[in-house]
Amino acid sequence: MNLMNEVRCKPIRIVHSPFKKPQNVPIQSVASKGIKGSVEVAREYVKGLKDIEGFSHIILVCHFHLSRPNSLLAKPYLNKNLHGVFSTRAPSRPNPIGLSIVRLTKVVR
């Protein structure tokens, strides 16, 4: 039995933000307060948004399409030592995925 199967995800759609290059994204989330973005949901998934207005925050799982695998070692901001990439917030990872909890301000259908 092979336990190392490839995992595939079907995109729900796209996140729009003012950040167009990975190097422009704030290193810490505290530096992104007040930054607004939007999530565009594909038509076939809109039904899944039913009752989402009742929540103050949503969880986004994203594929960082501009991130390129770099090294398994990373030097965090303001740190002179290399650490394993999985112990840092470095965006360049073997699987370029991210998790964000964001404030839900409105739903437009």
For the chain, domains (ranges, CATH) are: 13-103 (2.40.30.70)
User: What percent of the chain shows pLDDT beyond 90?
Assistant: 45
Q: What number is the average pLDDT over the span 65-91?
A: 87
User: What percent of the chain shows pLDDT beyond 70?
Assistant: 98
Q: Which residue did the predictor score with more confidence, 2 or 22?
A: 22
Phi, psi (degrees; rounded to nearest 5) at 43: -50, -40
Contact status, residue 74 vs residue 53, Cβ threshold 8 Å: no
19, pLDDT greater than 80:
yes
Q: How far is CA 67 from CA 23, 62, 63, 80, 96, in A?
A: 10, 12, 9, 22, 6
Distance, CA of 67 to CA of 50 (rounded, Å): 32
Composition of the chain by helix, strand, coil, percent to 5: 20, 25, 60
Classify 82 as helix, strand or coil.
coil
2, pLDDT greater than 70:
no
